[in-house]
Amino acid sequence: MDLVERMHERFLIRRFQRGDSNAFLKLVERYERRLLFYLQRFERDPERALDVLQDIWLTAWKSRRSLRSPDAFVTWIYRIAHGRVVDSIRAEMRRQQIEHDRQAVVEPSGDRPGQTLEIGELIHFALSQISAEHREVLTLRFLEEMTLEQISEAIDCPTGTVKSRLHYAHQAIQAVIKEQEDGRRKLHSFDDS
pLDDT of 179 reads 84
At 92, the pLDDT band (50, 70, 90 cuts) reads confident
Tell me what percent of the residues of the chain surpass a pLDDT of 90.
47
Mean pLDDT of 106-112: 40
- Residues 6+ away with beta carbon under 8 Å from 125: 117, 176, 180
With a cut of 80, say whether residue 191 has pLDDT above it: no
Query: Looking at the whole model, is its pTM more than 0.85?
Result: no
Contact present, 80 and 170 (Cβ < 8 Å): no
pLDDT of 91 reads 78
| Alpha-carbon 41 to chain mean position | 4
What is d(CA 136, CA 164) in angstroms, rounded to the nearest whole number?
13
The three state secondary structure string of the chain is CCHHHHHHHHHHHHHHHCCCHHHHHHHHHHHHHHHHHHHHCCCCCHHHHHHHHHHHHHHHHHCHHHCCCHHHHHHHHHHHHHHHHHHHHHHHHHHHHHHHHHCCCCCCCCCCCCCCCCHHHHHHHHHHHCCHHHHHHHHHHHHCCCCHHHHHHHHCCCHHHHHHHHHHHHHHHHHHHHHHHHHHHHHHHHHHC
With a cut of 90, say whether residue 90 has pLDDT above it: no
**pLDDT tens-digit map of 121-175:** 777 778 888 888 898 898 888 878 889 999 999 999 999 999 999 999 889 888 8
> Judging by beta carbons within 10 Å of its beta carbon (0-12, 13-18, 19+), is residue 150 exposed, middle or buried?
buried
pLDDT of 176 reads 84
At 181, the pLDDT band (50, 70, 90 cuts) reads confident
Mean pLDDT of 32-55: 91
Mean pLDDT of 68-97: 86
Domains and CATH numbers, the chain: 1-107 (1.10.1740.10), 109-193 (1.10.10.10)
